[in-house]
Amino acid sequence: MPVKLLVTFLLVFTFFNMKMLKAKEPEDKLKNLSPAVEVSIVKYKFIPPVVEVKLNQKVRWLNREKRQYHSVWFEKSGGKESDYLFPGDSYEKTFIEKGEFEYRCGPHPEMVARVIVR
Ligand SMILES: [Cu+2]
């Protein structure tokens, strides 16, 4: 039946189109992430440089550079440096203590920012 054939074609076409969209990087890596306060890393900066969160809230850093890697390191409060975040990579941390927490990028000490937990 020609109508059935047409519908099948349309379905297959739509399916392949969706697959093509899914293959796009780095958006693909960002799927299925839980809600959090987001900090972008772009042009050697943490944006925004100060974020305020509530106790037990999560912050997610997202490297939006084209090629440069960075890290997130709460050095002053004795934290462990994150893995290097390559473009499209993200890092998450949940804040379970109130206060102001300064952090930096491991490879670029001039990149500093802070998280305020209230
Ligand atoms: Cu950096």
Which residues does residue 114 pair with via DSSP β-bridges, in sequence order?
50, 102
pLDDT digits (tens, 9 = 90+) for 58-114: 999 999 999 999 999 999 999 999 999 999 999 999 999 999 999 999 999 999 999
Q: How far is the CA of 45 from the centre of ligand 1 (A)?
A: 8
Report the topology of domain 33-117: Immunoglobulin-like (2.60.40)
- CA 31 / ligand 1 centre spacing (Å): 24
**This prediction's pTM:** 0.72
Distance 73 CA to ligand 1 centre (A): 10
The structural domains of the chain, with segments of one domain joined by +, span 1-32, 33-117
**What average pLDDT does range 14-33 have in this prediction?**
54
Residue 18 confidence (pLDDT):
53
- Ordered strands of the 58-63 beta sheet: 45-47, 37-42, 58-63, 90-94
Give the range among 31-35, 96-100, 113-117 with minimum mean pLDDT.
Answer: 31-35
Query: One-letter amino acid identity for 22?
Result: K
DSSP string computed for 37-53: EEEEEETTEEESSEEEE
Reading the block at residue 110, the tokens are 């001039």
Look at residue 61 in the predicted model and tell me its pLDDT. Answer: 98
The CA 105 to ligand 1 mean position distance, Å, reads: 5
Q: How remote is the CA of residue 60 from the centroid of ligand 1, in Å?
A: 15
Residue 35, pLDDT score: 73
Measure 27 CA to ligand 1 centroid, in angstroms.
21
- How many residues are present in the chain? 118
How far apart are the CA of 112 and the centre of ligand 1, in A?
9
C-alpha to C-alpha distance for 20 and 1, rounded to whole angstroms: 29
